[in-house]
Amino acid sequence: MTASRAMARTNPGLSAGEVAERVARGEVNDVPVRSSRSTADIVRGNVFTRFNAIIGVLFLIILVVGPIQDGLFGFVIVANTAIGIVQELRAKKTLDSLAVIGEAKPTVRRDGAAVQIPTSRIVLGDLVELGPGDKCVVDGRVAEADGLEIDESLLTGEADPVLKRPGDPVLSGSFVVAGGGAFTATKVGREAYAAQLAEEASRFTLVHSELRSGISQILKYVTWMMIPTAIGLIISQFVVEGDDWRESVRRMVAGIVPMVPEGLVLLTSVAFAIGVIRLGRKQCLVQELPAIEGLARVDVVCLDKTGTLTEGGMDVTELRPLNGSEEERLRRVLGVLGAADPRPNASLQAIVDACPDGHPDWGCTDTLPFSSARKYSGATVTGPDPGGRAGSATWLLGAPDVLLPDGDPALAGIEELNARGLRVLLLARSDRELGDPRVAEEVRAAALVVLEQRLRPDAGDTLRYFAEQNVDAKVISGDNAVSVGAVATKLGLPGAERPVDARRLPAERGEMATALEGGAVFGRVTPRQKRDMVGALQSRGHNVAMTGDGVNDVLALKDADIGVSMGSGSEATRAVAQIVLLDNSFAALPSVVAEGRRVIGNIERVANLFLVKTVYSVLLALLVVCSRVEYPFLPRHLTLLSTLTIGVPAFFLALAPNRERARPHFVRRVMRYAVPAGLIAGAATFAAYLLARNHYSGDESLEAETSAATLTLFLVSLWVLAIVARPYTWWRVALVLTMALGFVVVLITPWLQDFFALKLIGTTMPWTAVGIAVLAGLGLEVAWRRFAAEGGEPAP
């Protein structure tokens, strides 16, 4: 009987009455773990923005000077804000429900029975049981220890596990890497270190995102441009209009409103929110919103074999005795080893199933839990020797190539088994005590345990997807390299036929990176090596994603650009991962990548639309100030143009499929086209306006001049939309044509003509406006092709 089981009888934990008393005193781990922003925060975040404030003030001004159709932009802002709130509330609902599903439930012992409860129901003095992979959710002191090793790297940065004995402190945020035991909770709720850790691990935060940072940078530039432009426009319009202050105010507002790319922020939030909802429906929990963007930028994905390419379960296919060992005796020893571990891993569980314990003459007095660093476990087994006399012996179970020296005869057939994708463990006997640091030296091989792994049916398709998307897949496993290579070869991973033993990898980062870039499968990788491998790849400029489900993956998951954990993985892996696959389906990763690419690629598209508008609005305002003429538009004209050429199309384009891999330098790439396109649009519109001022005269001249300028600006903006919508599909073409039809309807419908103050007079000036727009369109095409040649977008 193991030590932990003996102590389980003497320490039954708290009774129901004691728990009730502590709850009444408020000694409960009641730290509120928020999975997303509160409803009030969502409303505040969408309503009280810098640009909503600017637009709101201008809307109030229009309400004073009238008419109401010049205040349509205000209703558009209200609608956009409402859409943002609704979409984020939908995302919150999805995230909150998924967080409950993904929340870990620690095991506590009460009234002598082990029960799983939510973290928030732990009370002071609870006896919390621990096993490999469990995270310590509150502070406490060790009460029971059975080879208990705890990794405190998330707190101290030290990756070496710490052996814990009864009486030693346990800090929340650490996790178990080997062994088992239990600790008594000494600090719960806000007193525990978990109060800070849980807040960071469980909230869906907006951490660094190039997309969001880039948009914020653009908005900062726009704000600084708006201030002097707005002042100059206000002064010029009052001077030009003289006593007609109402018309001056309307024209001034018309010049300022289009400078604000308010919809860009909204669409970014909506795109992220809808992405989270879509992935949530596929049981994919996004713990940090920019993780969608991050995975889309990934060009190397590191996969752990167990739990990722293979399913958790395994089967013993053969027990091969060595050196004349008796098979029945070996099965007894294996049964004891399996029964000694209260939380067996997949390999040991297969052995438990094949070699059940239960013989009264056999037992164990001491155990050494499995550790991914050691790659073996052990036990001091008591039972009859071959002569029938009672005694005890030290037995080890682990990797053959770790326990035996190179060239040992017992290794002769292992390579052939590994080449078939089978997993092989060695059962060996040692003459040393289990606690001896040299217990694994000079062992005597007793048997080979051959295990067959279950391949995930969706793993092959997922690997092919990554290959098609130019994402390099690297299988990094603690198992034998040949065995891992055989599994990866079955799944069709390119380069899997040349597996690399990580023990032969160079330690220097540059040399390691070279070896990693040239290989696809790496075996016998230690937890520290996994972390070093991620760092080596990052040093070469790669964006690295790491997937895993075991404790040995935690450090690598933490350091990777994006960490992806399986839902059935350890509490520690789920705590540090940005993305959790709740249904343990590796096939969900392509959906995450596709969603990220959709968000980034499409936001970049629509950013061009918004920023072209900002640039031509600033240019028009400056030209008006310098020329001392009336601003050519009223707010209603620009509201109409923005709706048809930016607002409605941008919403559809932002949610369209997009498989292009994300690239860096978002701001530079967007501005490289938006600036010249905006200058062309602004110059063409002002030229048409000046020609119209010289062409028309009489009472209707101002309306006719505005209409000609509006026609020019609409056609140029529609051309920009047609460029941004490429490559064409039927619905993109239909979108552009529908927007064009909408403008035509306004021009030919009498009451809409009156409402928007648009009326084309004669044929000379309208066709001149069309000609100017065509010339401007050719300029837009030249700018686009130059932009594409510089690596911005593929030329159509």
Active-site amino acid positions: 304
Distance (Å, whole) CA 679 – CA 323 = 85
The single residue listed with the structure tokens 């909503």 is: 52
Closest by CA position to 467, among listed 323, 336, 593: 593
Distance (Å, whole) CA 487 – CA 483 = 6
CA angle at residue 709 from 707 to 715, to 5 degrees? Answer: 100
If 0-12 CB within 10 Å is exposed, 13-18 middle and 19+ buried, where does residue 55 land?
Answer: buried
User: Do β-strands 169-170 and 544-548 pair in parallel, antiparallel, or remain unpaired?
Assistant: unpaired
Strands, DSSP E only, in 464-526?
A: 472-476, 500-501, 521-523
Distance (Å, whole) CA 634 – CA 184 = 72
User: Do β-strands 300-303 and 544-548 pair in parallel, antiparallel, or remain unpaired?
Assistant: parallel
The single residue listed with the structure tokens 């050429």 is: 645
Length of the chain: 796
Q: What is the CA radius of gyration of the chain?
A: 34
Give residue 199's identity as a one-letter amino acid code. Answer: E
Give residue 140's identity as a one-letter amino acid code. Answer: G
Give residue 26's identity as a one-letter amino acid code. Answer: G
Contacts of 749 (CB under 8 A, 6+ apart): none
Distance (Å, whole) CA 475 – CA 532 = 15
Structure tokens at 712: 């020019």
Give residue 412's identity as a one-letter amino acid code. Answer: A
Contact (CB, 8 A) for 483 and 418: yes
Closest by CA position to 583, among listed 568, 562, 594: 568
Q: Which helix (H) or strand (E) holds 113?
A: strand 113-116
Beta bridge partners of 14: 110
Distance (Å, whole) CA 412 – CA 448 = 11
Strands, DSSP E only, in 399-543?
A: 422-430, 444-455, 472-476, 500-501, 521-523
